[in-house]
Amino acid sequence: MPGRPVGKAVRRRYVRAMHAEEIAGARCWIHGPADAGTRIVLLHGLRGDHHGLEPIVRNLRDVRVVVPDLPGFGTSGRLTVRHDAAGYAAWTHRLLDAVTTDDDIVLAGHSFGSVVAARAVAAGRKPTALMLLNPIAVAPSPKAFGTRVARGLHEFAAALPEAAGTAVLRHSLLTAVMSHAMVTTGDRALRRWIHREHRRRFSTFADRAVLLEAFHSSLRDDIIAYADVIAVPTLLVAGDRDPIAPPHTQRALRAALADAELVVLPGTGHLAHYEQPAAVAAAMLRFLAQLN
């Protein structure tokens, strides 16, 4: 499919067009022309880093995109406050202040990054628009089997000594289970590439405390809780096979927001940034064009 990531071929096409900077205490990757008419700050999800969003970014031509490693993940240092949605939202305000002197910027996020982005807007920041990819509209049910298993594993890791607990959270088997639970594409080559990316990127968190703070926030925080105070135009991009953020929750979120558009990608799960990056970027570009 057009825009599909394929390892080295993808990196050759987009990595040369970007550079990295330290902004607001985080390592940020800057893509696109400096004089672009549109600027986006794009936040990754739990356990990820900037690499996961690059397949989308390479399809956002003529757009300036800033993609940080969230503090405590990838190559960014820790926050001095808790690594939860509230802490990251406050940090996002600092990041936006450092990137722009006004609010002429679009804020976007994938999965847990969508919660951070939405909370930053709800806390008073008013960007031009908000774009939420596989957004966590409603927090997962604590009674759901997957939630109970994930919580149990993380609580087990928290009860162990530091080194042993961290080893559990970084274990390749845990990564493989999470990866296989999220991948929906039937393309074998793409599946292998996604699993390989997860093996490389899912263990780059700074330490056990950072991951546990963010993980428990991901179970507790959602977007619909403060949707009524989000007044900027908002794009929701969902997958019709997403078990973490299913379509019915996205429709509820769209109804709760003052000004929202929902795009549902067929045959796609929670990893739209890997499985359908060109389609995600196309939806984002169409939405941006409507703002002008």
Give the C-alpha separation, 94 to 80, whole Å: 13
The reported pLDDT for the residue numbered 7 is: 52
| Residue 236, phi then psi, degrees to nearest 5 | -115, 125
Give the C-alpha separation, 256 to 275, whole Å: 28
Give the C-alpha separation, 275 to 271, whole Å: 6
Burial code (b: 16+ CB inside 10 Å, e: under 16) for 30-67 equals bbbeeeeebbbbbbbbbbbbbbbbbbbbbbbeebbbbb
Q: Which of 222, 219, 223, 217 is nearest to 83 (CA)?
A: 217
Are residues 182 and 48 in contact, defined by beta-carbon separation less than 8 angstroms?
Answer: no
Q: Which of 239, 225, 206, 65 is nearest to 137 (CA)?
A: 225
What's the pLDDT tens digit per position in 14-57?
A: 444 478 999 999 999 999 988 898 999 999 999 999 999 999 99
The reported pLDDT for the residue numbered 69 is: 97
Are residues 277 and 3 in contact, defined by beta-carbon separation less than 8 angstroms?
Answer: yes
- C-alpha 188, offset from chain centre: 24
Give the C-alpha separation, 21 to 42, whole Å: 15
Torsion angle of C-alpha atoms 21, 4, 36, 91, degrees rounded to 10: -40
Q: What is the largest CA-CA distance in the chain?
A: 54
| Residue 160 DSSP code | S
Tokens found for residue 80: 């001095």
What's this model's pTM, rounded to 2 decimal places? 0.93
Percent helix, strand and coil across the chain, each to the nearest 5: 50, 15, 35
Q: At 260, is the secondary structure helix, strand, or coil?
A: strand
Q: Within 13 Å, how many C-alpha atoms sit on residue 94's CB side? A: 15
The reported pLDDT for the residue numbered 87 is: 98
For domain 7-291, is the CATH number 3.40.50.1820? yes
Give the C-alpha separation, 16 to 244, whole Å: 34
- C-alpha 218, offset from chain centre: 12
Q: Which of 244, 262, 283 is nearest to 46 (CA)?
A: 244
The DSSP H or E segment spanning 18 is strand 18-23
The stretches in the chain having pLDDT less than 50 are 1-5, 9-17
